Amino acid sequence: QEAIRDAIAKICARLGDDYWLKRDREGGFPEELHQALAGDGWLGIAMPEAYGGSGLGITEAAIMMQAISESGAGFSGASAVHMNIFGLNPVVVFGDDAQKKRMLPPLIAGKERACFAVTEPDTGLNTTRIKTRAELRGDTYFISGQKVWISTAQIAEKILLLARTRPLEQCAKPSQGLSLFYTDLDRAHVDVHEIEKMGRKAVDSNQVFFDAMPVPAADRIGEEGKGFDYILHGMNPERILIAAESVGLGRVAVQRASQYAKERIVFDRPIGQNQAIQHPLAACWMALEAANLMVFKAAWLYDSGKPCGAEANAAKYLAGEASFDACQQAVMTHGGFGYAKEYHVER
């Protein structure tokens, strides 16, 4: 596991602060990181060996994603990669052998990139009420509707898409009648509109509109109507990975702040000698380390085949809070220079 961390750190070291500052200013997918990780086989870290992956666990994937974030790439780097790690878990678990052979190797090799489309404007987290419809005619589904906050849809070749195949009123439970597809993002039938947002400009967020997009029935994952159950198999790994990335981001923020506090001289001594600087950073460090224990407890439970829902959610919450506080304290430690892009804590 330490070797994984070291190997990822070496890859990330090729892309320094200036690279990520440029991505943050100008946008543009961090192709260099994505391809470097693909070239060394890291995109398939948690995928089965039979399809070109490494066959390791979410624990090892969390170590990898944390190292990317902690390198200074933050979520601009991590968000460009983690869909590959958790997103196709429903294909791994519920896809047939032909689908796995067709769908997994190009993603692992970095030849295809995927986006994940569940959220809709009117439903938010109430996934059972999504309105995007998939109508089967012969051996082809035609999908119409819209999704929102879809990351990387500007550049993705593939899409993992949840749509309703049976009207809600015909279902015994709201979670029924939803089906999952992994298919080509056919831009002849799709409009993608980027959402201008604060931060993480390197990874686009989008509204996506589908107008009778044709999808072969062979691209449906598992049984029709059971898609909601299938996507849950990707949710807990996603929470664990985002929590690991958050801890990494908080750690690099504390590192930058601590280094600045040692070098910044005011009243003839480093500001880091003052407890008003030391104690908030120490509190951030403690919170991050505690959150990290929950991250890897959740990862261990998942990899051991044990229930991990509460721990995965707790890890995401604790890490998110600790990361936010650390980033804010890093800006505060820098004073006015915390706003200056050259110090790399504002982003």
* 118-171 confidence digits (pLDDT tens): 999 988 888 999 999 999 999 999 999 999 999 999 999 999 999 999 999 999
pLDDT for position 234: 79
pLDDT for position 150: 96
pTM: predicted TM-score of the whole model, two decimal places:
0.94
Beta strands in the chain (DSSP E): 114-117, 133-137, 140-151, 158-164, 178-184, 190-194, 205-216, 220-221, 265-266, 269-270
Instruction: List the beta bridge partners of residue 344.
Output: none
Non-local CB neighbours of 76 within 8 Å, separated by 6+ positions: 20, 23, 24, 30, 200, 201, 202, 203, 347
Distance CA 198, CA 183 (A): 30
Res. 87: pLDDT tops 90: no
**Residues 249, 254, 255, CA angle at the centre, nearest 5°?**
95
Distance CA 299, CA 85 (A): 13
Cβ 153 vs Cβ 214: under 8 Å: no
Distance CA 213, CA 153 (A): 15
Cβ 214 vs Cβ 142: under 8 Å: yes
Cβ 69 vs Cβ 77: under 8 Å: yes
The token pair that represents 117 in the structure block:
């489309």
Cβ 72 vs Cβ 22: under 8 Å: no
Would you call 150 helix, strand, or coil by DSSP? Answer: strand
Res. 298: pLDDT tops 90: yes
**% of the chain with per-residue pLDDT over 70:** 100
Distance CA 78, CA 333 (A): 25
Distance CA 121, CA 51 (A): 35
CA 141 to chain CA mean position, Å? 28
**% of the chain with per-residue pLDDT over 90:** 93
For 12, phi then psi, to 5°, come to -65, -30
Res. 283: pLDDT tops 90: yes
pLDDT for position 36: 96
Predicted confidence (pLDDT) per residue in 91-118, tens digit: 998 999 999 999 999 999 999 999 999 9
pLDDT for position 289: 98
Non-local CB neighbours of 187 within 8 Å, separated by 6+ positions: none
Cβ 165 vs Cβ 158: under 8 Å: no
Res. 26: pLDDT tops 90: yes
* Short-list 91, 94, 69, CA closest to 80: 69
Predicted confidence (pLDDT) per residue in 45-86, tens digit: 999 999 999 999 999 999 999 999 999 999 999 999 988 887
pLDDT for position 15: 96
Non-local CB neighbours of 82 within 8 Å, separated by 6+ positions: 65, 238, 241, 242, 245
Would you call 269 helix, strand, or coil by DSSP? Answer: strand
Arithmetic mean of pLDDT over the chain: 95
pLDDT for position 199: 87
Determine which of 175-189, 212-226, 231-245, 329-343 has the lowest per-residue pLDDT on average: 231-245
Would you call 207 helix, strand, or coil by DSSP? Answer: strand
Distance CA 285, CA 224 (A): 47
pLDDT for position 232: 82
Distance CA 53, CA 46 (A): 7
Mean pLDDT, rounded, for 234-238? 88
